[in-house]
Structure 1
Amino acid sequence: MNKFEDLLIWKKSMDLVEYVYLLSKELPNEERFGLISQIRRCSVSIPSNIAEGAGRNSKKEFVHFLSIANGSTSELKTQLLLSLRLNFTTKEKIEPLINLCNEIQKMNRSLQNKLN
């Protein structure tokens, strides 16, 4: 349906994944199979679902996958805030990631509205 590589929301989501991986390297090693794994998986889910939806055959399917990506973005924000509450990171390190998540969610809602 759409060439996902041209979508700005996909590009920003890919940037977010890179930033999440950099941050997650700084988290405690004992969280390797817990919070680190979960943060990485849900961050990867965001551009993956955008790409999958763009490759589907209908606007309705695309909107569905955008909705899943939006949920993954909220999940990521929660996990970043949790890592702050657990003193695994600082507000200064997660704030740019939270801001990018918010931007991606605004773009997501706008794209969903356009498709509907």
Structure 2
Amino acid sequence: MKSHKDLDIYNLAFEYAIEVHKLSLKLPKFELYEQGSQVRRSSKSIKDAIVEGYGRKVYKQDFLKFLTYAHASLLECISQLEMINELYKLEGTLELIKKYDLLGGKIFSFMLYVEKNWKT
């Protein structure tokens, strides 16, 4: 790996953050800065935590800590998307929830890999 961009979990998190951003702009105007802002921040923090962890990859425990942060942000994002789906039924919300659920599994699997195989 030469860069965080070589990580599948980063690339998926980036792609999904773009999708969440676009979806959130379809919320009612009064929600753009409430629910919309919260879901945008949580989705973007997933990719950011992966990047920051990768930047600290020489310290295995730091890498794992930031992957844990990424996973926690992912759970927050799913929770926000579930609320949006319940309140507004925006097209594409359920598909995003499914994508994030799969990404959560990938992040968890990568955490196990780092824990067992990462050399520092």
With the length of structure 1 as denominator, give the TM-score of the two structures.
0.92
Q: Which amino acid aligns with 1:95?
A: L
Q: Is the 8 A contact 2:43 2:73 kept in 1?
A: yes
- Residue 89 of structure 1 deviates from its aligned partner by 2.6
1:55 matched to which residue of 2? Answer: 55
Root-mean-square deviation (Å): 1.4
Is 2:106 aligned against 1:107?
yes
Structure 2 unaligned residues grouped into runs of 5+: 116-120
Aligned equivalents of 2:60, 2:98: Cα separation in 1: 28
List structure 1 segments (4+ residues) > 4 angstroms apart after TM superposition. none
1:6 matched to which residue of 2? Answer: 6
Number of residue pairs matched by the alignment:
114
Q: Is the 8 A contact 1:43 1:72 kept in 2?
A: yes
1:77 matched to which residue of 2? Answer: 78
Q: Is the 8 A contact 1:46 1:69 kept in 2?
A: yes
The equivalences for 1:14-53 within 5 A come to 14-53=14-53
Tell me the percent identity: 32
Query: Helix, strand or coil for the counterpart of 1:27?
Result: coil
- Residue 63 of structure 1 deviates from its aligned partner by 0.7
Q: Which amino acid aligns with 1:100?
A: K
